[in-house]
Amino acid sequence: MKKKSLGVFVAVLAVVMSVTPMVGTVMARGPLKALEVGKNPNVDGIIPFQFVMLDDVGPNNIFWANIQGRIVSGADALKGGGRMNNAIIADIVIVMDMQANPEMYENKWVFLSGAGGALHNGHSMAYWMFLPLFGPDACGDLEVEYWDGVFFKVNIVG
């Protein structure tokens, strides 16, 4: 009986693993398409930057972006849940290292302080992380939006 259960488990696992890349690709496109259509009041963002913010029982506390062959996802620190238990707490040195060596931080949650947290030259760690991707104006808006900081994760797809 145990061999049969193990065989069923392995078969289900194989199906899940073969379908996961397809599901991930569809999910990666989903939020941006909803923003482009513009009929969902729970979606906001910046189309040219492919940056989407999803409302989840509060203002813009989950975000997603497809930039430079990277899927960037994150959540407002207030909605962090268990992410904080395993997150890397970024200071300016870690932020610079993340920008220089993104593959070392791939698929790892990193906490970036917001305007209410640790500041470096008058800006949060979230500001400095997103600056090369979005520019100073958009980063200033994001810094205000995510006052308490964000949990941030990157997956390289390109």
Distance between CA atoms of residues 158 and 153, nearest Å: 16
The contacts of residue 78 (CB under 8 Å, 6+ apart) are 58, 61, 148
Residue 158 pLDDT class (50, 70, 90 cuts): low
- Report pLDDT for 19: 43
Indicate the domain borders of the chain: 2-156
Dump pLDDT digits (tens) for 51-107.
787 766 554 467 777 776 777 788 888 776 666 778 899 999 999 999 899 889 999
pTM recorded for the entire structure: 0.66
Tokens representing 82 are: 């268990």
